[in-house]
Structure 1
Amino acid sequence: MKKILLLREDNRADKLFFKKRAYQVLEVPLSRLLVRNLTKKECADLTEADWLFLTSQAPVKMLFSFLTELSKIPRIAVLGKKTAQVVEEIGLTVDFIPDVATKEALIKEWQAKFPAEAKIFYPKSNLADDSLSQKLLNCQVTSVVCYENQFYEEHQLVLEKILREKEISTVYFASPSSWARFYSSYKKNYYPLEFIAIGATTKAAIEKLGFSAKIKK
């Protein structure tokens, strides 16, 4: 039986998915998400926005109580079917989702369909880049760090022990940041592994360093 390593703090859905596919699951969370509340100014910016861009599931529940109180909810653009599902599960409508689940595709496809100027509210993590603000030049983008991806240093030692002892055959990555943190230990304790990515962006991050990966299906 293959043994797969899961790196998120909450792996319940992934654990069920891989167990059904005959994997033995091992969990070592490398980071945790800490969500912060919006300030009054940020709430006002969201209220006045034409669009809300969501590139991950993390901020959805935090924004939900506020959004449902608004008389006018911004149109919602999301990256990926999983994020769209979370948005719809809490009773909101997804107005745009790109055909390809990458931030570059989100920007390009959204601009092609909605070329007019717009006010965009973008809740992001402390690790996210500024590509939305830089590439949507005809729009007013308000980028707000609303959740932090904090590193579990003590778990890194557990990971290094697992790699030294070659305990796993497969690793599942749910974000480029999880790959980056895993790789910092893996490059010192290398042996051939199978890599599975949540989507195209994470797959590209893995392949950028010369490794192959397949997307979870």
Structure 2
Amino acid sequence: MSQGRILIVEDDRDSAEVIEAYLRREGFVTEHAVDGHSALERHARWRPDLVLLDIMLPGLDGNAVLGAIRRHAPTPVIMLTAVGQESNRISALLYGADDYVVKPYNPGEVVARVHAVLRRWRGNTLAQKPGLRHGPLVVDLDAAMAWIDAGNGAQAALDLTRTEFSLLCMLMAAPSKMFSRAALLGTCMPESDAMERSIDAHIHNLRRKLELAGVTGVVVTVRGQGYRFRNPT
């Protein structure tokens, strides 16, 4: 039985072939794209379960590809980058990446990250409640979906990454409780070796998407400590 479909976007064919071999050995089905434009075409046509995306690509770079994916689908994305500076890693997270791996990497580690991200995406509900609600903001934990209830049966889905969805669930499930960055990182990105400050990037993206949907001021910064969800009134 297939573990899922993985789209590998990597212009280095040798590296891509190695990762493909490891993933197929684990039961994944793979496709390979060598540039950003073909990656978007394959993503639209094939609908992979996860994308492994190199940042340094000819033509359309990885961040641009990630941005285009995020405008149309919540597909989990792991960035592959040779750039080790923390600022570039945070930049990738700001664009909506679920995780990143810095080159040179062990292919076995990449496969482990794939399993971890898919496990979070498919199964981590963070709470036992079937649903959460704050005003027009509604979260269905079983379906792993969030949307805005505009009334009269009208709904507008929120296009959240798995990490953003997990953060929203964790905060909404305990309104007014302050969560440290370490707690949020450990629960929402348990397999990641990202620094605690990377949570700020995901919170930034989550807030932006909520604000664009008309939900403002619900994710509150506790200065020097972490974040909490505004206590419903």
Scaled by the length of structure 2, the TM-score of the pair is 0.26
Which structure exhibits the higher relative contact order, with contacts defined as CA atoms closer than 8 Å and separated by 6 or more residues? 1
Higher Rg of the two aligned structures:
1
Scaled by the length of structure 1, the TM-score of the pair is 0.28
